[in-house]
Amino acid sequence: MTTAVLEEPRVGDGDLAGLVATLTERAVRARRLVVDMAASPRGCHLGGSLSVLDILIAALHRASAGDGTEVVLSKGHAAAGLYAALHVSGVLPENPAPLYGLAGHPYTGHPGPKVPGVRFPTGSLGHGVPYAAGWALSQRLRGRHGLGVAVAGDGELQEGLVWETCQVAAAQQLGNFVLVVDRNGGQNDGMVADISPLPRLAERFAAFGFDVTEADGHDLRALTDLLAEDRSAARKPLAVVADTVKGKGVRAVEGKPGCHYVTIDQARAAKWKRAIR
Amino acid sequence: MSLTDERAGVLPAGVPETASGDAAGALAGERPQGTAGARPGLRAGTRPVASADERTVVSADGGPVVSADERPLAPAGPAPLTDERPLAPAGPAPLTDERPDAPAGPAPLTDQRPVTLSGRDAYRDELTRLAASDDTIVCLEADLGGKGHPFQAAHPERFLNLGIAEGAMVDMAAGLAAGGHKPFVSTFAPFAALRAAESLKLTLGYLAAGVTVVAPYAGVSGAWFGTTHHCLEDLAILRSVPGVTIAAPYGDTEMRAVVREAVRSGRPHYIRTGRNATYESLPALGDELPLVNWEFRAGPEDVCLVSVGEEGTRLALAARRAVPGTAHAHLVYLDHEHLTEAAAELARHHARFVVVEEHRGQGGVAEALALLLPSCRVTSVSADRSWPSQGGDHEEVMAALGLDLPAVLEALDRASTTSTASAGRPTN
């Protein structure tokens, strides 16, 4: 996800508020696209797609700098969110919403490398984290400063591969590896806290040898600042534990575990889209 | 079908007690074996290599040393029989699966090449050599590369021991490949092919990433280390993943050629090899390995041995010493695409085949050839469906699975007595 088509406003070139406004406008458009995909015959993973959108938009903005930063959505079930974010960020030229889940088009329920801007197949949870770590390692070996950014769900952290990779990334001092956790508190069968809780998550990453930051996962200014960091001299990977709301932006479903996978009709979609601000 | 050792000590009809090279016995290592009263070739075939001198490797300083496989089975003092490194080795080298400590300084790269190396050592040596002129090659290990890895000595910045993390290693290799590198990852076959199976499916298959997985300890070369360290299922898994080039080279020369091809092609590879055993290479055939390496083609009515992998080939060579004149075709590449072409060539010359492979029958090469050659008769000498639960050396564990020379000879005998009418005719 390194190709930018749109003119990207840059922090430092002047108007931080303008940048945030641009990213906010993208987030609104992307949320409406996600709702459109929920209104497709297939439905989509609505809750997680909406919770992760701001993170993806901020990360894609970072990647647009062309420094070799790669963003990997490890929680691949949020494919609808990814497709929408790629589109509004200018990486994916065509509007994926009308094509989502259809034969002859690459917009499957979990993303694969046939989608412009997607390098790795994700959906089987955990794999995106080492993909991004490997990318970061490649950048470092080449003397480049790009980041490998993995965006994982909090439920996904139940996968052993995530922690296996954290162990490796810390041992290899991959300072340009960033793991952003979309902590929306939900997973397929219910709440993370009820199924397999993750207490003291920030401390866990710190114990592995990560730099750790907790953030509001819907604060585009904060996320942009965090991801703009020059980590070329860092020796510790960075974990960003981003608190989010499942279903963020659609009041009818916000915070409800039942919005994990949703299929709605066109009338409801229209209503929800009008309410997204 | 896996054949057992029911005929041990019984010679097949018409087999002379002393084998002699036939018209095509040009393979190095082919030599008369038999001793009166003993099954020809049996004892000679019970070692991974044909003679002691073939197992001699040369240390970096030019002096002969013995490979780890040749060390006395009962060295003085306790020898840790685990796959863990001894914490403080002292005295004679322990019988672990780790390499001897390497000499200080870079390994010799080309002209000082030892006469023959085990598959994994040949891989390491060849990759180290290639990386000198290709800075995109990176070498990843998961704590089973041993001390003194030559790549580490020669290119320390591109050698990464990621620790005991096979799945992360394969996935990170995908990330490295996406970044323009040529990652070679290695860990024991059971951990590569089974523990990291999903990563192989995604990285080697779906992504078609230019990642090479080198998997020693395939089959039961782990022997007394036990079933956790055996891998009789890897071909079944990898053969079902489209797009993966699968190789099981026999001997130093083939391994080096396969590694060179993996670097050159940039295609995903799975390379299967054993532990420390060395094998005298087949005659050099240039850099491009043939689809079918014919040691000997007999008449169209004759049964043809098809050898796969290190031990399958060793057994086939031993069987040929026991039954001179037996046709023998050796296969290096075992993925569906290569096998499809190889099968067509096999069927141009023979109609009955005995496939020898150190793998379960299910999902192995014999099954594949049987499907590819419906008009031919394909018999399998392969591991049966049991779990080896006792110790023993490599050959003893193989024998417990029905994989030994008597089994090959019996399969040959049975196939030879099969009516050709029921075996189809060579197609040409």
Over residues A107-157, the pLDDT tens digits come to: 999 999 999 999 999 999 999 999 999 999 999 999 999 999 999 999 999
What secondary structure, in 3-state letters, does B211-234 show? CEEEECCCECCCHHHCHHHCECCH
Residue B129 near residue B107 (C-beta atoms within 8 A): no
Per-residue model confidence (pLDDT) at position B275: 97
Per-residue model confidence (pLDDT) at position A47: 98
Per-residue model confidence (pLDDT) at position B419: 56
What secondary structure, in 3-state letters, does A69-99 show? CEEEECCHHHHHHHHHHHHHCCCCCCCCHHH
Nearest to A76 by CA among A166, A23, A150, A165: A150
Q: Is the ipTM of this complex over 0.90?
A: yes
**Amino acid code (one letter) for A55:** I
A126–chain B nearest CA distance, Å: 9
Instruction: Say yes or no for a CB contact (<8 Å) between A161 and B171.
Output: yes
pLDDT band at B285 (very low <50, low <70, confident <90, very high): low
**Nearest residue on chain A to B163, alpha-carbon basis:** A168
pLDDT band at B146 (very low <50, low <70, confident <90, very high): confident
Q: Where are the alpha helices (DSSP H) in B299-335?
A: 309-322
Pairing of strands B64-66, A238-243: unpaired
Mean residue pLDDT of chain A comes to 95
Place of tokens 């490599």: B394
Select the residue of A119, A126, A141 nearest B178 (Cβ to Cβ).
A119
Percent of chain B topping pLDDT 70: 70
CA dist A237 and A172 (Å) reads: 9
Count Cβ atoms within 10 A of the Cβ of residue B264 and give its class: 0-12 exposed, 13-18 middle, 19 or more buried.
exposed
Instruction: For residue B121, give both structure tokens.
Output: 């050592």
**Cβ neighbours of residue B262 closer than 8 Å, sequence gap 6 or more:** B184, B212, B245, B269, B271
Instruction: Say yes or no for a CB contact (<8 Å) between A138 and B175.
Output: yes
pLDDT beyond 70 at B93? no
Q: Is A242 left (phi over 0), alpha (psi -120 to 50) or beta?
A: beta
Angle between helix B166-178 and helix A160-171 axes, rounded to 10 deg: 70
Select the residue of A112, A113, A134 nearest B172 (Cβ to Cβ).
A134
Distance separating the N- and C-terminal Cα atoms of chain A: 26
Instruction: Say yes or no for a CB contact (<8 Å) between B172 and A131.
Output: yes
How many residues in total does chain B contain?
428
Per-residue model confidence (pLDDT) at position B288: 83
Interface test with B, best of A3, A137, A139 (most B CBs within 10 A): A137
The mean pLDDT of B189-212, rounded to a whole number, is 98
The mean pLDDT of B274-295, rounded to a whole number, is 89
Number of H helices, E strands in chain B: 13, 13
pLDDT beyond 70 at A104? yes
Per-residue model confidence (pLDDT) at position B47: 35
**Amino acid code (one letter) for B185:** V
CA dist B157 and B166 (Å) reads: 20
B205–chain A nearest CA distance, Å: 11
Per-residue model confidence (pLDDT) at position A257: 86
CA dist A12 and A26 (Å) reads: 20
Per-residue model confidence (pLDDT) at position B67: 36
Select the residue of A70, A130, A141 nearest B181 (Cβ to Cβ).
A141
- Tens of pLDDT, residue by residue over B317-329, are 999 999 999 999 9
Instruction: Say yes or no for a CB contact (<8 Å) between B175 and A133.
Output: yes
Q: Chain A interface residues facing chain B, Cβ-Cβ under 8 Å? A: 70, 112-113, 119-121, 124, 126-127, 129-139, 141-142, 148, 161, 164-165, 167-168, 171-172
Q: Report DSSP state, residue B406.
A: H
Per-residue model confidence (pLDDT) at position A14: 56
Q: Report DSSP state, residue B420.
A: G
The mean pLDDT of A76-100, rounded to a whole number, is 98
Give B-chain residues touching A164 at CB under 8 angstroms.
165, 167-168
Instruction: Say yes or no for a CB contact (<8 Å) between B175 and A171.
Output: no
- Tens of pLDDT, residue by residue over B103-137, are 444 444 444 544 699 999 999 999 999 999 999 99
Nearest to A6 by CA among A80, A85, A71, A64: A64
Q: Report DSSP state, residue A17.
A: H
- Tens of pLDDT, residue by residue over B328-377, are 999 999 999 999 999 999 999 999 999 999 999 999 999 999 999 999 99
Select the residue of B157, B181, B199 nearest A138 (Cβ to Cβ).
B181
**Whole-number CA gyration radius for chain B:** 21
Per-residue model confidence (pLDDT) at position A206: 98
Instruction: For residue B109, give both structure tokens.
Output: 């790269």
Give A-chain residues touching B174 at CB under 8 angstroms.
120, 130-131, 134
CA dist A28 and A24 (Å) reads: 6
Instruction: Say yes or no for a CB contact (<8 Å) between B165 and A168.
Output: yes
- Tens of pLDDT, residue by residue over B395-414, are 999 999 999 999 999 999 99
Per-residue model confidence (pLDDT) at position B101: 40
Interface test with A, best of B135, B136, B138, B171 (most A CBs within 10 A): B171
Instruction: Say yes or no for a CB contact (<8 Å) between B163 and A148.
Output: no
